[in-house]
Chains A and B, each alone.
Chain A
């Protein structure tokens, strides 16, 4: 179907079902129950899942296929957000022109940065992209925000003001981002017994966009172009001596992934019409690297899983505070309860990055192929149990490769 083989088609369908049914899947616990804090089915978080999913899918086209590790992809995300907000300010709150411009501007921007950065490979390439991203951050944060020429509105962040032109804004159209009149914040809440499920227009818009770009990434992975990108990663020398110029291939991959990042940035602004310089900071670039590696570099579904994993745990761990911990461990004797809370305290709330670091280390050491490899090992183990052969122990000593 759609020019894909059976396996890829079923993957696409599974991802499609999961994203469309996400409001149910992510809200398994009844409202008001003790477990409700583990629910993730509210619009804001679901939007972040798919938007960062798009970001990571794009990043994986560059990093997963060509092996070029960019530490500056957040710059394209930020550029996308700024472009979208500018479209809101100048034209109207309709998100289509905004997102279109974010993709185009991010594409041009990545062409420039990629052209220079790809003159080097390996660690030098990474450092060059990092340098460009930090320069972009500095430009957005201070340089391009002075009274004479205010492109980014500096620290405050770019937003839409009442006196902005908005020349295409109709008299009746909503005063917040909308798709031809359908506001992105529109949410329909369905109550089933104790459960409550939110269906948000913005989430579904992002989900459909993610399905489209996920499909495109499968096509790229399976195309001759995708094979050439893997050849770049595998052996550039042989590629050169086979009559192929690896430079335009890597540049094309860089621009495509930059456009994915711009799209993600545009969607972010479309969900919440704000753009701040912190979106371009190196921590944001690092996050997408973590997502891709955590999920499984070079796999189709890995980056989406990684993005969901990190965003979910970020949300959950940040929400937990000491009083929540005390209520969990209330059954312990007082002294012991305090001790346990004391030990866990650094890993929750603002210390969530510590937890992320530990999770990341565990994955890199024990599952170099990321969550996807974990899933495959699990499947293999289940499959192997069925025939009742005597190799039950071999599952444990399986080599990493």
Chain B
């Protein structure tokens, strides 16, 4: 069953057609990669899925419910978490606080006035956050300010924050952009581990073919705002159209 359905989505910015009639189905519990050359409309598409942009036409259904017109926090509460190209974390807060916030958000919803309670008394939530830090191998960095983490650790923390909410769909926007090779491989291993251990659907936008072919089960190639082809990694690799549009110039 497709957990995310994109139907005939188009988006224009003035005279620029960023997306034209995009159709896309992301199967539940799969890893689906969206690739394409610069300017293909990958980020625009992603922004349409999370409530940042409103498409001009078309529909976006998550679990058969429309997400169009909803605020990002409402879409997140439905079960979609997003990882950004540059890690978006709470830099001034400690690592453990970064991990606590999404868990509070999951339990308490978009707003709760818990001004007279203490965090230390929320034992269940603190334990959950600590377990997630453990899983991310970051338990030793518990009290550090998130801004002082290395780039790779920031990415791990962000992914951990998203996972702590047990999302049904995890959206990754070029998760390894600007990373050193070692950090990239660590991130790939982490994502593989997540895929194996959890009931989760992952949609990933990526430039790095190494990352795409190590992770993806389905690949959609986007070119000039429309899906060129959708297939398995093996077939994409051999597809001459894709080579021409994308891989050829990269190789």
| A residues lining the B interface (CB < 8 Å) | 3, 5, 216, 219-220, 222-228, 230-231, 233-235, 237-245, 248-249, 252, 256
Task: State A231–B81 Cα separation when bound (angstroms).
Answer: 17
Given contacts A223-B117, A238-B88, A238-B90, could you give 11 more A-B pairs where the C-beta distance is less than 8 Å? A223-B116, A223-B119, A224-B112, A227-B93, A228-B101, A228-B104, A230-B90, A234-B93, A235-B90, A243-B76, A245-B110
Asked if A224 and B117 sit within 8 Å, CB to CB, the answer is yes
Shortest beta-carbon distance from A167 to chain B in Å: 36
Taking CB atoms and an 8 Å cut-off, the chain B residues in 30-55 that contact chain A are 50
Asked if A235 and B82 sit within 8 Å, CB to CB, the answer is no
Residues of B within 8 Å of A3, CB to CB, are 118, 121
Asked if B93 and A231 sit within 8 Å, CB to CB, the answer is yes
Residues of B within 8 Å of A225, CB to CB, are 112-115, 117
Asked if A243 and B77 sit within 8 Å, CB to CB, the answer is yes
Shortest beta-carbon distance from A358 to chain B in Å: 30
Asked if A231 and B90 sit within 8 Å, CB to CB, the answer is yes
Asked if A248 and B91 sit within 8 Å, CB to CB, the answer is no
Shortest beta-carbon distance from A28 to chain B in Å: 38
Task: State A227–B102 Cα separation when bound (angstroms).
Answer: 12
- Residue B91 contacts which of A220, A235, A239, A240 (CB distance < 8 angstroms)? A235
Task: State A225–B108 Cα separation when bound (angstroms).
Answer: 11
Residues of B within 8 Å of A219, CB to CB, are 115-116, 118
Task: State A216–B116 Cα separation when bound (angstroms).
Answer: 8
Residues of B within 8 Å of A243, CB to CB, are 73, 76-77, 102, 105-106, 109-110, 165
Asked if B81 and A234 sit within 8 Å, CB to CB, the answer is no
- Residue B89 contacts which of A223, A238, A244 (CB distance < 8 angstroms)? A238
28 CB-based A-B contacts, threshold 8 Å? A3-B118, A5-B120, A220-B116, A222-B119, A224-B114, A227-B97, A227-B101, A228-B101, A230-B92, A230-B93, A230-B97, A231-B101, A233-B92, A235-B88, A238-B89, A240-B73, A241-B50, A241-B73, A241-B82, A242-B101, A242-B161, A242-B165, A243-B165, A244-B105, A245-B111, A248-B110, A249-B111, A252-B115
| 3 tightest A-B CB contacts, nearest first | A243-B76, A225-B115, A234-B90
Residues of B within 8 Å of A226, CB to CB, are 115
Per-residue contact bits, chain B 69-95, to A (CB 8 Å; 1 contact, 0 not) = 001110011000110100011111100
| B residues lining the A interface (CB < 8 Å) | 50, 71-73, 76-77, 81-82, 84, 88-93, 97, 100-102, 104-106, 108-122, 161, 165
Task: State A243–B119 Cα separation when bound (angstroms).
Answer: 19
Shortest beta-carbon distance from B62 to chain A in Å: 14
Shortest beta-carbon distance from A233 to chain B in Å: 7
Asked if B119 and A227 sit within 8 Å, CB to CB, the answer is yes
Asked if B100 and A227 sit within 8 Å, CB to CB, the answer is yes
Residues of A within 8 Å of B93, CB to CB, are 227, 230-231, 234
Shortest beta-carbon distance from A111 to chain B in Å: 14
Residues of A within 8 Å of B122, CB to CB, are 224
Asked if A235 and B89 sit within 8 Å, CB to CB, the answer is yes
Task: State A353–B104 Cα separation when bound (angstroms).
Answer: 46
- Residue B115 contacts which of A220, A230, A231, A244 (CB distance < 8 angstroms)? A220
Residues of B within 8 Å of A256, CB to CB, are 115
Asked if A242 and B115 sit within 8 Å, CB to CB, the answer is no
Shortest beta-carbon distance from A260 to chain B in Å: 13
Residues of B within 8 Å of A227, CB to CB, are 93, 97, 100-101, 104, 119
Task: State A223–B118 Cα separation when bound (angstroms).
Answer: 5
Closest to B147 in A: A234
Shortest beta-carbon distance from A67 to chain B in Å: 10
Residues of A within 8 Å of B73, CB to CB, are 239-245
Shortest beta-carbon distance from B203 to chain A in Å: 15
Please judge, given known A-B contacts A242-B76, A243-B77, A243-B165, whether A224 and B104 are in contact too, CB under 8 Å: yes
Please judge, given known A-B contacts A224-B122, A243-B106, whether A237 and B111 are in contact too, CB under 8 Å: no
Residues of B within 8 Å of A228, CB to CB, are 101, 104
Residues of B within 8 Å of A241, CB to CB, are 50, 72-73, 76, 81-82, 84, 88
Task: State A230–B77 Cα separation when bound (angstroms).
Answer: 21
Residue among A3, A5, A223, A240 with most chain B CB within 10 A: A240
Shortest beta-carbon distance from A280 to chain B in Å: 27
Asked if B111 and A242 sit within 8 Å, CB to CB, the answer is no
Shortest beta-carbon distance from A218 to chain B in Å: 10
Residue among B50, B89, B117 with most chain A CB within 10 A: B117
Shortest beta-carbon distance from B140 to chain A in Å: 22
Closest to B119 in A: A224
Residues of B within 8 Å of A230, CB to CB, are 90, 92-93, 97
Residues of A within 8 Å of B100, CB to CB, are 224, 227
Residues of B within 8 Å of A244, CB to CB, are 73, 101, 105, 110-111
Closest to A249 in B: B111
Residues of A within 8 Å of B101, CB to CB, are 227-228, 231, 239, 242, 244
Task: State A32–B206 Cα separation when bound (angstroms).
Answer: 79
Shortest beta-carbon distance from A322 to chain B in Å: 48
Shortest beta-carbon distance from A191 to chain B in Å: 44
Asked if B102 and A242 sit within 8 Å, CB to CB, the answer is yes
Closest to B167 in A: A243
Residues of B within 8 Å of A248, CB to CB, are 110-111
Shortest beta-carbon distance from A114 to chain B in Å: 15
Shortest beta-carbon distance from A266 to chain B in Å: 21
Closest to B81 in A: A241
Residues of B within 8 Å of A216, CB to CB, are 116
Closest to A226 in B: B115
Task: State A241–B165 Cα separation when bound (angstroms).
Answer: 11
Residue among B89, B93, B111 with most chain A CB within 10 A: B111
Shortest beta-carbon distance from B73 to chain A in Å: 5
Closest to A246 in B: B73
Task: State A398–B173 Cα separation when bound (angstroms).
Answer: 39
Task: State A238–B161 Cα separation when bound (angstroms).
Answer: 10
